[in-house]
Amino acid sequence: MSRSALVGIAAIVAFFGVATPTFLARRWQNAASVRLEQSEQEAAASAGSGEQVAVAAEADENYCTPQLRTILRRVLTSCGLIGASGRGCQPVQARSVATMSGDDFNALFLPMQGRGGIIQFDRDSADLEEIDTALLERVFADRQGASYFFVVSRASPEGNVEHNRDLSRARAEAVMTHLQNEFHDPELNQQVGLLWLGEEFAQLSQSFCDWTRSDGAGTCDPNTLNRSAFVAWIDCRL
Amino acid sequence: MSLSRVLQGLLAIFAMAGLFFSGVSTSDFTAHLDRQTHGLHCSFIPGADTPDVTGSSGCHATLMSPYSSVMRDSIWGGVPVSLPSMAVFAYLVVCAITLLLLGKETEKRATGYQALAWALPFLTSCIFGYLSLHELDAACKICIGIYASSTLGMVTSIVAFARARSGAPLAAAMKAAEDDEESMVETLTPRDESYGISLASLPTGAEDTIEDRGFESPVRTVNEADDTAAPAKRLRLATASEMDRRLRAGNVNRRKTAPSGPAQTSWGALALAFVVGLAFVLIPVGAYAANAPNFDHFVGACGTLAHPEDAGHVLVPLGPQTREATMIEVLDPLCPSCRGFERRFSAHPAAEQMSRKILLFPLDGTCNWMVDGAVHPGACVISEAVLCAEGDADEVLAWAFEHQEEIRTETTADAGAAARMVNARFPSLRSCLGSARVQAQLNRSLRWAVANQLPVLTPQVYVNNTRICDEDTDLGVDYVLTRLLSRDLGRGAE
């Protein structure tokens, strides 16, 4: 074969050599463009059908039944967390907004056993001890996706009603003050609902002895159980 | 077949192997131009196994790294470096075939040029291999295929050149020719003609070389180099008159040229070959750039932060906070994509123009109720450590990025492993880690995401409160950052 023919063949080989990456890259680019166009069309179609990516939201557990939401909304509204001004619920208010018996009211909190605790006080005292603050901080820090933190304080039936009402209020406020001092959360007022019930409404029954208590090692009878502030996060969206 | 031709055949095969691996890499890269996620062919035999879709392969880390492409600011994703690699290997295939076609496989300059051409992919492979292992800590099997092809080609091309340079092929050819009577021709090369004298016509002892002034006999050279092979042979010079007499008498026949090696390649031809090589690279790269999609309409099209204020001090500052442009990155310290973004972002000049803050968003159900189970086990503990570190947050974050796999693996086996690792590396954080206060702070970080209704994914990047689309946080990040910054600076100027 003549030299010029060989050179010609070499030139043809060179042409295919340079054309191969050029052609392949363009082909891959064009295929990607077609796929992009298709995916945009599909995205436009799915936008109308309501398909959405997961968006960050507060927790909403299964125990948040419509009935519980209704009561929560009433309580939170009356207690100043939603809409209205002021802070805390008087026992009478709690009873009226709950529109249920004390036992039924307490039953609402039963599903939250793993999310709450009972801060126990000494008799006729609203002072938090170290074991109390430790439990309070632990429960509060484990907020997860909960929207509201409930502090429901009580007093044992010893003493007069008025005194016990004030005592339970002092206990609720002691808890709130500690949370403010410890966590410096500017949104605390929108998170924490205070209810002080004195001895007048929804006394805790012995079944709550199973809950985590700050004085877990001590005896658990109705009197010691109700010298307390019940604290729990509620994983319900309203 | 001579060894030199075998070597050229091998070079063509190695170049084709390089072309194949580069082609697979380019194909994987360009697949991402549809702004979707894709599995990658991360195998020494692409296609033999199913593409990796986890994003954890070395090929993924390499492809998403800032080293996988060039011109990223002007073209979305840039031009993949595997494309010029394809072009170079295609050129080397053509080189080997051309040398074989033109019989230049034993020619010194041609094979020397070929060896120099192989040095380009070989040196590039050395550099990229170093970057892959030391900077990315990733072993990309497709890339290793390219490195291996380059190395084998480099070695083979050096052997081919060394053979041509030593003249061994020529000597071997001449030795073989000695056994062939038809080839036992003495060659005279005056100007452009060759003359041969049949052995039978020469007197005894005169069969070696005839040389006269104006004639050049390569046979003499061979004989000089091969004295040991024919020690008894004598050299007799023929005069011009004797030659003329023999020619007239018909004792000197025109014959084929004896094996004497190819004519030397001219410098001009090599220069032309170099220009052709440039064209091999520039044409596909230019065509790719010209055909690149315009993604400008995606820049800033993915929304803004609804509540960028940070009353709860949940955003962790990283680096100087006095720069005009702001960047908020939602990240999980154990998320491989976040680490990849960190590498791409830190390599971009825009990193020097921004005040950067991060929002910790661990994809770990231990603290993040929005996630089922633990996508990244240990991420909650590491996030707490970043919050605890305060001014040294960047140091903890860098350590976490570096040990992501280790932390995740050990925490999967033992839930307390992440905390132990943090305490061992950063003893000063021991009292803070796991405390109620830092847990509450991390919870507030997650609530900041809730308040802004952020998607549950990482990383998310906001430049001056404008979100960079997720599809733009990997290959397209340079392209989008450049445009977002220039756009916002333009607004500022107005």
Cβ-based burial of B293 (10 A; exposed 0-12, middle 13-18, buried ≥19):
middle
Q: Tell which CATH architecture fits domain B296-493.
A: 3-Layer(aba) Sandwich (3.40)
Whether the per-residue pLDDT at B268 is higher than 80: the answer is: yes
Q: How do the domains of chain B map onto residue ranges?
A: 3-170, 186-253, 296-493
Which of B124-128, B167-171, B291-295, B372-376 is the least confident region? B167-171
Sign of the torsion formed by the C-alpha atoms of A21, A22, A24 and A29? positive
Interface test with B, best of A18, A30, A181 (most B CBs within 10 A): A18
Of B83 and B251, the structure prediction assigns the larger pLDDT to: B83
A11-49 per-position pLDDT tens digit: 898 899 999 999 999 999 999 999 999 988 888 887 666
Q: What is the pLDDT of residue B372?
A: 86
Q: Is the ipTM of this complex over 0.90?
A: no
Collect all residues of chain B within an 8 Å Cβ-Cβ radius of residue A41: none
Of A141 and B280, the structure prediction assigns the larger pLDDT to: B280
Inter-chain touch B30–A187, beta carbons under 8 Å: no
Mean pLDDT for the stretch of residues B399-411: 95
B59-95 per-position pLDDT tens digit: 888 888 888 999 999 999 999 999 999 999 999 999 9
Residue of B nearest to A39 (CA): B34
Of A6, A35, A56, the CB nearest to B102: A6
Q: Which of residues 6-25 of A touch B (CB under 8 A)?
A: 6-7, 9-10, 13-14, 17-18, 20-22, 24-25
Whether the per-residue pLDDT at B440 is higher than 80: the answer is: yes
Inter-chain touch A145–B369, beta carbons under 8 Å: yes
Cβ-based burial of B367 (10 A; exposed 0-12, middle 13-18, buried ≥19):
buried
Alpha-carbon gap, residue A154 to A169, rounded angstroms: 8
Q: What is the pLDDT of residue A95?
A: 61
- In SS3 terms, B212-232 reads as CCCCCCHHHHHHHHCCCCCCC
The CATH classification of domain B3-170, taken from the options 1.20.1440, 1.10.3470, 1.10.1740, 1.20.1070: 1.20.1440
Q: What is the pLDDT of residue A8?
A: 87
Q: What is the pLDDT of residue B330?
A: 96
pTM above 0.90, yes or no: no
Touching check for A183 and chain B: CB below 8 Å? Answer: yes
Q: Which of residues 60-119 of A touch B (CB under 8 A)?
A: none
Which of A69-83, A189-203, B279-293 is the least confident region? A69-83
Whether the per-residue pLDDT at B195 is higher than 60: the answer is: no
Touching check for A123 and chain B: CB below 8 Å? Answer: no
Identify the band that residue A88 occupies on the pLDDT scale cut at 50, 70 and 90. Answer: low
Touching check for B236 and chain A: CB below 8 Å? Answer: no
Identify the band that residue B262 occupies on the pLDDT scale cut at 50, 70 and 90. Answer: low
Alpha-carbon gap, residue A33 to A41, rounded angstroms: 12
The residue assigned the tokens 């055949």 is B9
Inter-chain touch A9–B87, beta carbons under 8 Å: no
Q: How distant is the Cα of B126 from the closest Cα of chain A, in angstroms?
A: 23
Collect all residues of chain B within an 8 Å Cβ-Cβ radius of residue A2: none
Q: What is the pLDDT of residue B487?
A: 77
Closest CA to B243 of B205, B215, B208, B204: B215
A139-167 per-position pLDDT tens digit: 998 888 888 888 889 999 888 889 998 99
Alpha-carbon gap, residue A97 to A79, rounded angstroms: 10
Touching check for B475 and chain A: CB below 8 Å? Answer: no
Alpha-carbon gap, residue B428 to B78, rounded angstroms: 43
Q: What is the pLDDT of residue B239?
A: 54
Which of A34-43, A91-100, B237-246, B397-406 is the least confident region? B237-246
